[in-house]
Every structure is written in C-alpha cells, then in structure tokens.
Amino acid sequence: MSEDLSSSAQEDLTNPAFPVPENLAGQIAITSLDRIYNWSRRSSVWPMMFGLACCAIEMICTAASRYDFSRFGMEVMRPSPRQADLMIVSGTVTKKMIPQIVRLYNQMPEPKYVLSMGACSSGGGPFKEGYNVVSGVDKFVPVDVYVTGCPPTPQALLHGLIKLQEKIDKQSVLSADWYKPGAEAPIPVPLLGPDLVDPRDFPDFGAKLKAQQERAAAAAAAVAE
C-alpha cells in the first residue's frame, strides 16, 4: 500500500482484525478485497448528466461551488450512460419520458445505482393524479435511495449520496447482484401509445399486437374487395 495514503484513508481501509505492527504504521494497510473495492467505488461514483424538472436545479446547485459534491469524488457527471454508474432521477417523470429513462438505465454498466430525488420522482408528487405522470420511477427501474422534498435541498441530496455510499460499503463481491447470472437482463422499455404500456405486464403483448394488426389489415383488404 502506498505511503501516500492519508491517515483517514488508512483508517477507512485498515481491517482492525489485522493490526499493523507499530514500526510499519503509516506505510502499509492490511485490508480485505471488499473493503478496498468498495472504498474505490464509493469514492468515484459518476452520476449521469440529465435532469427532468425543478429538482434538477437543486441537483445543479449541489454540484456547484457552495455544496460541491466533487468532495465525494462525484463531480464527473457523464453525458453518456455507458460511462455513468449513478442515475439521479431529478424531477417529474412523465409517461413520455419513462421509455427514455429505462433505455438509458439499460445502457449503464453494472454495478449501477438509482437515486430518486424529490416527491415527483418517488411518487408523482403534486402531479400524482396527472394523466401524463408516472407515479414513481421505481415502478420501472430499481431505486436504491429516495430523497424526500419538493424540491429536496442540496443538503438533502448530499445526505442521500452519503446513504448511497453507506450502501456500497456494505456490498460484497461474493454476493453482489451484478455477478449473478441474468443480472444484465435489460428491463423491457415501456411503450407509449394512447397510454403507457409496460411490456412486463403483458409478456405476449408484442404477439397480440401483431395479430391484431394483421386482423385489421385483413378486414381492410376484405372491405376493399
């Protein structure tokens, strides 16, 4: 282990079950694979750069100089889902937007996390009964941390990010979901027609839709004859 490790980083990493001999203190740290793996992941979470509504303004404030989430290694907001491991859903999730959100989530590599920021994202918020609003993004993608508020303050978002770090700390490479078979299976992208359709509710939806279209085409052809 490098001599350059700060004392707090060494404290974070050192396994108390294996104390470092006094004459080597400050030069080496003995730790477990899980601990160093999680320490590096939790200290370099890269959020995806997108916002949906007013909550996004608070997210932007959290990234700016006053609150500055680069202190958590999170400042590298990525415009590409393929380079991001955290999706902050900041704002109202409309039925028109959810297919894009699911598609972006599917394009993020594992291990990946979702933070639902604000009342709208977590449950529809003031627009819950709206004809065009999804009443909770967790109906479509798995949410790891919920941040309450309308809008949540930057401090609340920071609290949520710290909770996410605590969750990462508790994960183990031996039992992590993303190493299990089938972990990479994409979530079916919802379809937006006159209303939103979640293909998971209708496993044979595609086949039924095709059959219906064929019947309609046949009926139209019969009328034309």
Cis bond leading into 194, ω under 30°? no
Binding piece for ligand SF4, criterion CB under 6 A, among 60-68, 98-106, 113-121, 209-217: 113-121
CB atoms within 10 A of CB 96: 11
Nearer to ligand SF4, 82 or 128 (CB): 128
- The strand pairing partners of 30, in sequence order, are none
Burial 27-63 (b: 16+ CB within 10 A, else e): eebebeebbebbbebbeebbbbbbbbbebbebbeebb
Residue 149 Cβ, how far from ligand SF4 at the closest point, in Å? 7
Candidate ranges 59-67, 71-79, 117-125, 202-210; the one touching ligand SF4 (CB under 6 A) = 117-125
Kindly write out the interface string for residues 175-214 of this chain, putting x where it contacts ligand SF4 by CB under 6 A and - elsewhere. ----------------------------------------
Q: Which is nearer to ligand SF4, 126 or 142 (CB)?
A: 126
CB of 53 to ligand SF4, least distance (A): 4
| 97 counts as binding ligand SF4 under rule CB under 6 A | no
Question: Footprint of ligand SF4 on residues 145-164 (CB under 6 A)?
Answer: 150-151
Quickly list DSSP for 59-93.
Answer: HHHHHSTTT-GGGGT----BSSGGG-SEEEEES--
> What is the residue-wise DSSP string for 95-132?
TTTHHHHHHHHHHSPSS-EEEEESHHHHH-GGGTT-TT
109 near ligand SF4, rule: CB under 6 A:
no
- Single residue of 84, 102, 116, 125 touching ligand SF4 by CB under 6 A: 125
- Is-cis flag, bond preceding 142, omega within 30? no
91 near ligand SF4, judged by CB under 6 A: yes
Closest to ligand SF4 by CB, 149 vs 199, is 149
Pairwise CA distance, residues 164 & 144, whole Å: 7
Distance of CA 14 to the CA centre of its chain: 29
Min dist. Cβ of residue 127 to ligand SF4 (A): 7
| Single residue of 14, 62, 92, 165 touching ligand SF4 by CB under 6 A | 92
Residue numbers at the binding site for ligand SF4 (CB under 6 A) = 53-55, 91-92, 118-120, 125-126, 150-151
